[in-house]
Chain A
Amino acid sequence: MLKHLSTKLLMLAAILFCGVTSAFAQGGTVTGVVTDASDGMFLPGATIVVKGTTQGTVTDINGSYSIQVNANQVLEFSYVGYATQEFVVQPGTTLNVVLQSSAQSLEGVVIIGYGSVKKKDATGSVSVVGQDEFNKGAITNPVGLIAGKVAGVQITSNSGAPGEASTIRIRGGSSLNANNNPLIVIDGVVTSGEGGSGSRSALNALNPADIESFTVLKDASATAIYGSRASNGVILITTKKGREGSPLKLEYDGKLSFYEKPKPLGVLSSDEFVKLFTSKNPNQVNMLGVYYDQDGHQVAGNDSDSTNTHTIYNTDWQDEIYRSAFAMDHSLSATGAYKTMPYRVSLGYTDQDGTLKTSEFTRTTISAALNPTFFKGYLKLNINANGTFIKNRFANRSAIGAAAQMDPTKPVLSTDGSYGGYYAWLGNGGGLNSMATSNPVALLEQQTDKSDLSRFYGNFQADYKFHFFPDLRANINLAIDNSDNKGTVYVPNYAAWATDNIRGGGRDDKYTGKNKNELLDFYLNYKKEVPSIASVFDVMAGYSWQHFWYENTWDNKNIPIIIDPVTGDSTGQKLYPISGVDRGELFLVSFFGRLNYSFMDKYLLTATVRQDGTSRFSEDNRWGLFPAVGLAWKINEEGFLRDSKVISQLKLRIGWGKTGQQDVGGYYGYQGGYSIGTQNSMYPFGNVYDTVIRPNGYNPNIKWETTTTMNIGIDYGFFNDRLYGSIEYYNRKTTDLLTYAPVPAGTNFVNNLNQNIGDLENRGVEFSINGRIISNEEMFWELGLNATYNKNEITMLYDGASLENSNSTISGGVGNVIQIHQVGESASSFFVYEQVYDNDGNPIQGLYVDRNGDGIINSSDKYIYKNPNAPLYFGISSTFNYKKWAFFFSGRANFGNYVYNNAQSELATFDRLYRDEGPYAGNVLSSATDINFNIPQYFSDYFVQEASFFRMDDITLSYTFENLLKNSLNIRVSATCNNAFVITNYDGLDPEVFGGIDNNLYPRSRVWVFGVNLQF
């Protein structure tokens, strides 16, 4: 980017200038200023040392320095968190230096877990995304910052709900039933990934504005240091810190966002509905609209008595449940140093209303980071403390499906105030018609579903360089992460959709969730340069202990229905209080070590080993050993390339390693035991109800799942790194796959159990290229592109059989599962019937290809047709600066992904118009008349539809006012459009559906964001 180039230009200028002046002076002063590459601000407190001497200085508050040098001495400019630079200098000259934050520097230092390494010396597949490259705009969940930025990493927001979690997949999922999420490490603290009940996402506790960089470790030689939890990659998050010697710097960042009202599903309007309904069900037309008696009270469903009046309404139910919404986001931070104590404190506040009415998310974050050094740098401390307070209100998402289905001839409100003022379907007898679609607006407005979350997490890290043996470092890290959630769900007993005149209606539920995560890491690091053999050794050995604990409680009841407000006599007094508590804990203990060896600064070796023990498995299977080796060859350091004008960087990396997976199901899967039944599951002898007890299923042999990764990569840079990137090939084989699979009947207390059965493979190629197309004083344009090809294949499974994907239940019918896992196919492939079409290419209802030719169409004729995983996906981002203007965009594309259009398979059939259970009328999708099915054909491959897309995630234009108020203030104003547009042929609402089943998606809307950033 710009700073790279300007640094290099400055270097060149300095060297040229120094060269010219060197003849004149023997000793004298060099002066200049040091600035920060990321924002151009002066950098106070940077250290300047004359190499080989004890002579040095630091920059003052204005970033200026002045130092005595002799001719041809070397000045070393350094600063914590920044790449060190060296210059040959001559007395009497001026040398202005721009330092780059190491996170975003090609030459910088990257953190790799229990230590760091120079980027150019990394042997594994490591990608760093610094804050300058982050996605912009309305991003509440931190991982949204890097969506589309890294090859091999797919980030899909689960929906458009405020504060919603995202699903992250690095190089495809390595497991079937075990956790496929990457491990997330925040400032060296391994998180559990659990937000606890009532939380939308564990990562939401982190304010995106506090994040400095993301480091993504992809291959085993990089991740194996995290052993048993690294099979799906590791994301290291580094938060912003203060810098030694720097003055107080304040920063305010504010955003105001406007969420457009989402695009609805295409359903029939009231007029169209009446027409279609009448043609299909001429005998039932008196179901449409509402009949009122002379007093204006609604009367039973189809009571067309002559004295009653009849009204056909025109309600657009989807229009009623969605809204445009505002959000605001404020972050304020103070960064500086008190003597040798750099600090950063920040305050963040986010308030976002959801586009589905009633949903809301507010978050307040407080964070403080101290990182002082003592004893001349021998002891470094790192103290982080974060508090997060989140208030959620969850919308009742069943309103989404209900709004698509609800009869448009019905009104939103009741005329007589019954059922809390909302219209409700009545049955034949005049009572509620409980089978009919619930009023979508009532579903939203009559449910108050809130949670309050408070979370504290922090760590204390001490890094001590031994006084008498400075090559040796000891590092200890103590961390805690506590969250405490409280939630309530309240529905009044007069809500028609939750009423029960026998046992009382509504809901009055309370729940709590507590999560506790404690961590202790300790490691020793020994680094030694042995010039005699041109070698550098860097050895690390450590120990880690981690404890996870949770407790959930719930206390649910109904509300009695009072009949007589005067006497207080009530019916439905039988409350059904159901309460309980659920608790568990998990321990992980690990030993690990790593050797980094560099020979002649060209040949690099990293060897890693980690031994992990988990309390999840029995003593015999508890320990897993995870080794890895990485080799790298810096080809550009070889003589034949060293002076190349074209090739500035060329590194070949080969890595191999094993990682594990133990995160499956419960915490006690290997132990038998007894579960006590709840008050819902009692059995009577006579009239005495007994609590029941049940032996639990268990697998005493359950053990680690192991993923072996092979990775070959080339990092390249041309023309002084104006063009750079990497290309990688990987192959990840998972063996002893933790699979939820059938057990032979009679051998256990369950019929399915987590077992180590099966193999799975992910193969792929990743390519990334970044180019500075224009780079001059006024104008700068950098374009980055990454592309990934990934193929996921199950290579062995459970005696060659296939397994239903129990997570692929569709809406419509009960228990209908649309995906299976089968050998030779991608995990979660769609398993459907092959549709037969007529001569005009229209699907014929219920007619499928008899694939096995036995004359009967039954479940044996299903076949595998496509899968939801995109084999090919891309990310693109562009930064264009002209003077103080900046224009930024980033987008993503998926190719070859398929989606099961469940909205269509369920809601585009004529039998939805009139349902005789109830009976009631319901709306259908406009596409029903094209598809022409009377009854749902859930398993037709017609509904498995291609959903390739390109999504423009954000477009931002900003302008910076620099050096206002006597150079003390910078203001940047920006306008962003998030989710600007999607290009796709997919028929449904949104082609991007994690898991590939498109139903009742909380729509993602377009967002307009106006931002201001002040630095002073």
Chain B
Amino acid sequence: MKKIFYILALMAIAAVFNACIKDLDTVPIDPDEVTAEIIFKNPEAYTQFLAKCYAGLALGGNDGDGQGDISGIDGGFSPYLRQYWYHQELTTDEAVISWEDQTIKDFHYQQWGTSDVFIAAMYARIVYQVTLVNEFLRQSEDGRLSDRGINEEWKAKIAQYRLEARFLRALSLWHGLDMFGGTILVTESDPIGDPDFFPPRVTKQQMFEYIESELKDIETQMVAPREWATSGQYGRADQASAWTLLVKLYLNAEVYIGQPKYTESIVYANKIIGSSYELAPTWQQLFWANNDQVDATMQEIIFPIRFDGIHERTNGGTTFIINAAVGGKMDKADYGIPGDNGGWGGTRVTPEFVGKFDLETDKRATFFTDGQNLSIDDINLFAEGYAYPKFVNLSVVNGDTINGSDGNMVDTDFPMFRLADVYLMYAEAIVRGGTGGNLGDAINYINELRLRAGVPTINDITLDFILDERARELAWECHRRTDLVRFGKFSESTYVWQWKGNVKQGQSTNVKYNVFPIPDSEVSSNPNVSQNPGY
């Protein structure tokens, strides 16, 4: 009897143990955490994932800048556009900043190191976008959609999503090629979470060809120019987005791969110019809070990064661009940021940049000068250097000034690609010897921009003129570093501005700074990645 009791007791104990060991197989119980197999049964999830791929350009993470996508940097610093702006603008004559955040001044001084936290964040952001898109492409494979019972109507929609995702991937890879001489290359066919997989850092030539082939593959299948905008889907990438990226890729091909491709550049510029995109009637409107609401501006903006003060609670993007530019004697209410954290007093421009404008007539010379010195004796003081509130968080509608929806976080979209840029690139490609267009058209296009800006038209154009006109037209839109590198005026002695090289009058630095270094963390964690020359 006792034996039976013991055997039963042992069996009971064994059963309890077994049950308890099974407890170790947990799945998340948080309502915001879901497994892939569950979430992707709902077709809306593909839209939400694509929205994330776009939002990756705008926001720091899944909760505004909280729940950051990348780590190792403050959440508000981490958004893609804010870092892109640092890299493309703070390094040039178009911007200085007074703050003491980590190594931020090294940008303007052109003396960054390989462990720079911002450079690491930019690199991480670029690859993060690529990784997101890769996963989107894996999850939206046709076979998987069928397995999950996604219907044909949704499948057609998702097929378009896939093209847009690939555009976003090409865009980021191009940023990587431009700023870093190429990042690693991973695609949807590579594994995730495999510790034995080290992505290759392909040559610049290979990266160039990959981006080119991707864009050429998708551009024919994407929707026609402005089709999204006219069907209530403004902000999504269309054919013109892919074309603009091709124009940029080809225009800079000499820098990237040592081969001129100006003729190819003109081919795609012509397609855009011939499409339904039009210049906005006034320049300043392009940088207003409602630039995503009125056709006048939407018709010029080919590819925006969308922002909204309520739904996109970020300190990056245009919230950064607008707030950082307001300080000193400026009344922040005048720029649509009267909120409790509005007006950060950080960014100004150099006198060399100001010198490019006719301050009396050029409507693009939106400098604020009261209390501001033109010359910068002390880069740490907001009062030194003119303020440049080009972007604002308000709009004027029928004479009434309308604030953005929040007093600090702004609504203003960032025009990453716009037609004026294409006009200027077209002109440059022709002056640089590209065929398939003509100089007369180029001059006319530039005169359209100049007339809009209220400055006299011109009869002839030189490369230096185009570079200066790009500065006047496109300042703070993240083109400047790329332009200066293409013109051999970035690190070189051919052009200096105040505090370049960490001296007041400016000095040349080292040609190695024409690309950023690969972050130390990447070089040490991936044996396939070697450092850029000179670092």
Contacts and interface: CB of A to CB of B under 8 A. Distances in A.
The reply to whether chain A is a binding partner of chain B is yes
Interface of A: 427-429, 431-432, 434-435, 497-503, 505, 543, 545, 547, 574, 576, 580-587, 589, 613-615, 619, 622, 667-668, 671-696, 698-701, 740-752, 798-801, 804, 806, 812-817, 856-860, 911, 915-919, 935-936, 938
Nearest to A667: B26
B438 interface: no
Nearest to A935: B380
- What secondary structure prevails in chain A residues at the interface with B? loop
A701 B195 CA distance: 8
A796 to B, nearest CB: 13
B232 A816 contact: no
Contacts of B63: 677-678, 680-681
- What secondary structure prevails in chain B residues at the interface with A? loop
B519 to A, nearest CB: 8
A917 B383 CA distance: 9
A500 B20 contact: no
Given A678-B63, A742-B522, A749 B192 contact: yes
Given A614-B24, A746-B186, A916-B381, A935 B131 contact: no
B70 interface: yes
A746 B72 contact: no
A936 B99 CA distance: 10
B36 A673 contact: yes
Contacts of B128: 749, 751
B380 A683 contact: no
Nearest to B200: A746
A467 B74 CA distance: 65
B30 interface: yes
Given A427-B331, A583-B30, A918 B345 contact: yes
Contacts of A748: 131, 192-193
B382 A585 contact: no
Contacts of A587: 20, 23-24, 26
13 contacts: A501-B407, A502-B403, A678-B66, A683-B52, A684-B235, A740-B71, A744-B198, A746-B184, A746-B186, A806-B72, A813-B101, A917-B344, A938-B100
A548 to B, nearest CB: 11
Nearest to A580: B32
Given A585-B26, A692-B48, A747-B191, 13 more contacts: A431-B338, A673-B36, A677-B52, A688-B232, A693-B45, A744-B198, A745-B127, A747-B186, A749-B192, A800-B524, A812-B100, A813-B102, A859-B115
A678 B33 CA distance: 12
Given A589-B24, A668-B28, A685-B51, A860 B115 contact: yes
Contacts of B115: 859-860
A675 B312 CA distance: 17
B526 to A, nearest CB: 4
A277 to B, nearest CB: 16
A587 B27 CA distance: 11
B29 interface: yes
Contact of B199 (A622, A675, A690, A745): A745
Number of contact residues on B: which range applies?
Answer: 35 or more
A694 B24 contact: no
Given A746-B186, A806-B72, A859-B106, A799 B525 contact: yes
Interface string B192-204: 1111011100000
B492 interface: no
Interface string B78-113: 000000000000000000001111111010000111
B343 A435 contact: yes
Contacts of A742: 72, 521-522, 524-525
B306 A683 contact: yes
B345 A917 contact: yes
B341 interface: yes
| Among A589, A615, A685, A751, residue most surrounded by chain B Cβ atoms (within 10 Å) | A751
B112 A668 contact: no
Nearest to A520: B20
Contact of A581 (B31, B58, B184): B31
A804 B104 CA distance: 17
A973 B52 CA distance: 67
A102 to B, nearest CB: 32
B414 interface: no
| Among A498, A860, A917, residue most surrounded by chain B Cβ atoms (within 10 Å) | A917
B52 A574 contact: no
Contact of B113 (A428, A813, A860): A860
A689 B127 contact: no
A502 B338 contact: yes
A160 to B, nearest CB: 28
Closest 8 interchain pairs by CB?
Answer: A917-B345, A502-B407, A815-B74, A746-B186, A680-B64, A742-B521, A744-B526, A680-B313
B360 interface: no
A751 B34 CA distance: 21
Contacts of A614: 24
A427 B327 CA distance: 11
Contacts of A576: 310
Given A916-B328, A918-B327, A746 B127 contact: yes
B28 A584 contact: yes
B524 to A, nearest CB: 4
Contact of B331 (A429, A502, A743): A429
Contact of B64 (A678, A746, A749): A678
A504 to B, nearest CB: 10
Contact of A747 (B23, B71, B111, B194): B194
B340 A745 contact: no
B311 interface: yes
A784 B371 CA distance: 67
A462 to B, nearest CB: 15
A746 B45 contact: no
Contacts of B198: 744, 747
B124 A686 contact: no
Given A673-B36, A812-B100, A813-B102, A744 B525 contact: yes
B100 A685 contact: no
| Among B66, B381, B403, residue most surrounded by chain A Cβ atoms (within 10 Å) | B381
A667 B30 CA distance: 11
Contact of B23 (A582, A589, A619, A745): A589
Contacts of A503: 339, 406-407
Contacts of A585: 26, 29
B475 interface: no
Contacts of B150: none
Given A744-B526, A798-B525, A815 B102 contact: yes
| Among B32, B77, B116, residue most surrounded by chain A Cβ atoms (within 10 Å) | B32
A692 B33 contact: no
A622 B98 CA distance: 51
Contacts of A806: 71-72
Contact of B311 (A682, A813, A857): A682
A816 B52 CA distance: 29
A859 B34 contact: no
B34 A676 contact: yes
Contact of B340 (A498, A615, A674): A498
A999 to B, nearest CB: 15
Contact of A680 (B29, B66, B193): B66
A749 B70 CA distance: 9
Given A500-B408, A746-B190, A692 B344 contact: no
| Among B33, B123, B306, B338, residue most surrounded by chain A Cβ atoms (within 10 Å) | B33
Contacts of B70: 750-752
Contact of B33 (A668, A680, A691): A668
A695 B138 CA distance: 12
B218 interface: no
Contacts of A800: 524
A745 to B, nearest CB: 4
A619 B69 CA distance: 27
B520 to A, nearest CB: 6
Given A746-B190, A815-B77, A936 B342 contact: no
A691 B311 CA distance: 9
